[in-house]
Structure 1
Amino acid sequence: MIVSALICICIILACAFIITLIKVLLMKKAAIEIFEEMEEKLKNDTNTLITVSTSDKSMRKLAQKLNEQLKELRKRRHYFMQGDAELKEAVTNISHDIRTPLTAICGYLELLEGEEMSKKAIRYLEIIKSRTEILENLTEELFQYSMITTGEEDMEREEVVINSVLEESIAAFYTVLTEVNISPHIKITEKRIVRKLSPSALSRIFSNLINNAVKYSDGDLEIILSEKGEIVFSNTASGLNYMQVSKLFERFYTVEDMQKSTGLGLSIVKKLVEQMDGSIMAEYNDEKLIISVYFPES
């Protein structure tokens, strides 16, 4: 009797163990299904919901709750994307509308320069012209940013020798650098670094980075193009700090004393680099601002 009872207990325990094990395995399978489907839903913009093959109430309730959160997430994502698109369109329209009267103003200012005026009038005219040029540059920067972010910028790629484009960009800024007493230290590898890029976009990237150095440098600038194809711009920038540098690529972010900037120069650089499958990063070490750009080989 005792032996029979023990055997029955063992059988019951074995059955219970097997049932529990099967239930655990089924729940594990359901958890994996939920995880994989959640990952797929977040990765792809789809309206489908999470489904599970298990009949377990707890796992189905979990899937239901996640589906509710997915619906809310999609709603918020759609709202954000719509608002972002409207903002970009508004910036494009505003910058375009401002460009037309600005061009006319600049034309009339040039005509006024040929007229006979008093010294005071000439001084006022110079101030107006200076402020108009600043406004014109800011408007152009806004327009270019909106063109890039809306995908209207021509990004046709071709085989480009990065060495040549970098040298041309540095030469174009030679006068500007001289005016602010910056003598750049340049190291460009003799090896031809060829990548499939947009020449105009690459030129704009280099121009904006050099212009950034003009704004923030304490008087030095080092530009390096390595054999691996990495382009590094570094300069002493004691007026910056780590937090400011971490935000340099954010759109409309400006350092407090840079009142002549929209904060879009480096944001444009980041957009263009990423659109051409490259990478960019900024570091701040020992009062040195270091910006590195890299385009992988095709």
Structure 2
Amino acid sequence: MQTILLILCILAAVYFAYRFFLLRKSIRKTSSALREITGELSENRIVKLPVQDACLEELLEAINENLTAIRREHIVYEKNERLLKEQIENISHDLRTPLTAILGYLKLIDKEHFNETDAEYLAIAIRRSETLQALITQFYELSRVTSHDFSIKKEPVDAARILREICLAYYAQLEAQQLATDFSLPEHEIRLLGDADALKRIFANLLQNALRYARSYIRVHVQKNNADGTISFFFENDILPEQMPADPGRLFDRFYMQEQSRSRGGTGLGLTISKTLAEHMGGSIEAACRTQDSETTFAVRVTFPCPYPAAASSLYL
């Protein structure tokens, strides 16, 4: 009798051990499947249990119900986001046309017969209209570059030439603001795989940002990173200590505004657009602040992979 009981106990122990092993293996597979499904919510998949177990099946049923609810919310969110971007594009287009006409008429006004006060009011109206025009254009561009169907060309471009052209285009504005410049721009090619128009927009936005907040100087330079074969473009300028952002990385967030660092009418859209375009080209962008010898410097670094060897790599700074 004792022998039979012992055999039964051993068989029960083996059974429960085997059952426990199967359940552990099943839970691991289920967890792996759940992680995959969470990463690809657009696919209409459910979590299944390889081994039958009433309690676990009840749990998985609740999980699948939650996944279905999350998918429905995700679909609604994407639809609303798409509609919002389309509305922004339409509104931007509708506003740009009459605003362009208004600016044209303002600039056609004969200022010779105006007194000093009226001429000043007209100049203010023109500046405000141009600011509004730039803002509307940025809204449109932001909705365009963040849409799901946005894509850029991938072809060889000379980033050094584009950077020189952008810096030259803003030379008059730099002089008007009496800013010292330190542009260390290579004369040789820097060939990247990307989109020339996107690169122009990135460089222009970063230089405009520096122009908006620079106190006395702007520095632009290029650096080759031999460790990973990337190319970095730096845009640096000095700022007031109270303009130092608490979290420089957040400056690339959509519509992020920090009163101390955004006190001159910036919207934050330019940096957001630059970040989005850089990522579309396989690059990255980051900002940093440092204080040394009572001088506070704000710097933006945009980095791209460089698939082509430089013609004269010794010219990099």
**Structure 1 stretch 112-121 or stretch 30-39: which is displaced more?**
112-121
For 2:221 and 2:63, locate their aligned partners in 1 and report how far apart those are by CA, in whole Å.
50
Q: Which secondary structure does the structure 2 equivalent of 1:280 belong to?
A: strand
For 2:244 and 2:57, locate their aligned partners in 1 and report how far apart those are by CA, in whole Å.
50
Map residues 199-218 of structure 1 onto 2, 5 A cutoff: 199-218=196-215
Structure with the greater relative contact order (CA < 8 A, sep ≥ 6): 1 or 2?
Answer: 2
The residue that corresponds to 2:22 in the other structure is 26
Contact 1:34 1:63 in 2 (8 A): no
Query: How much identity, in percent, do the aligned residues show?
Result: 29
Kindly tell me: are residues 111 and 222 of structure 1, through their superposed partners in 2, closer, same or farther at Cα, counting changes over 3 Å? closer
The residue that corresponds to 2:301 in the other structure is 292
Q: Which runs of 4+ in 1 moved over 4 A?
A: 7-10, 151-154, 188-191
The residue that corresponds to 1:15 in the other structure is 11
Q: Render the CA deviation track for 1:173-217: whole Å, top value 9, x for unaligned.
A: 222223333323334457643111111110110110111111223
**Structure 1 stretch 200-209 or stretch 249-258: which is displaced more?**
249-258
The unaligned stretches of length 5 or more in structure 2 are 226-230, 308-317
Q: Is 2:31 the counterpart of 1:35?
A: yes
The residue that corresponds to 1:246 in the other structure is 249
Q: C-alpha displacement at 1:222, in angstroms?
A: 2.8
For 1:156 and 1:145, locate their aligned partners in 2 and report how far apart those are by CA, in whole Å.
18
Contact 2:288 2:298 in 1 (8 A): yes
Contact 2:245 2:258 in 1 (8 A): no
**Structure 1 stretch 71-80 or stretch 179-188: which is displaced more?**
179-188
Q: Which secondary structure does the structure 1 equivalent of 2:51 belong to?
A: coil
Map residues 48-127 of structure 1 onto 2, 5 A cutoff: 48-113=45-110, 116-127=113-124
The residue that corresponds to 2:258 in the other structure is 255
Contact 2:249 2:287 in 1 (8 A): yes
Equivalent of 1:236 in 235, 238, 260: 238
Contact 1:204 1:269 in 2 (8 A): yes
For 1:151 and 1:26, locate their aligned partners in 2 and report how far apart those are by CA, in whole Å.
43
**Structure 1 stretch 198-207 or stretch 244-253: which is displaced more?**
244-253
Q: C-alpha displacement at 1:266, in angstroms?
A: 0.4
**Structure 1 stretch 111-120 or stretch 43-52: which is displaced more?**
111-120
The unaligned stretches of length 5 or more in structure 1 are none
Contact 1:189 1:227 in 2 (8 A): no
Task: Give the length in aligned residue pairs.
Answer: 294
The residue that corresponds to 1:177 in the other structure is 174
The residue that corresponds to 2:132 in the other structure is 135
Q: Give the letter for the 2:304 counterpart.
A: F
The residue that corresponds to 1:265 in the other structure is 270
For 2:185 and 2:112, locate their aligned partners in 1 and report how far apart those are by CA, in whole Å.
49
For 1:230 and 1:146, locate their aligned partners in 2 and report how far apart those are by CA, in whole Å.
27
Q: C-alpha displacement at 1:63, in angstroms?
A: 1.6
Kindly tell me: are residues 124 and 198 of structure 1, through their superposed partners in 2, closer, same or farther at Cα, counting changes over 3 Å? same
For 2:66 and 2:133, locate their aligned partners in 1 and report how far apart those are by CA, in whole Å.
46
Q: C-alpha displacement at 1:152, in angstroms?
A: 7.2
TM-score normalized by the length of structure 1: 0.88
Q: Which secondary structure does the structure 1 equivalent of 2:217 belong to?
A: coil
Q: C-alpha displacement at 1:261, in angstroms?
A: 2.9
Contact 1:184 1:221 in 2 (8 A): yes
Kindly tell me: are residues 258 and 98 of structure 1, through their superposed partners in 2, closer, same or farther at Cα, counting changes over 3 Å? farther
Q: Give the letter for the 1:234 counterpart.
A: E
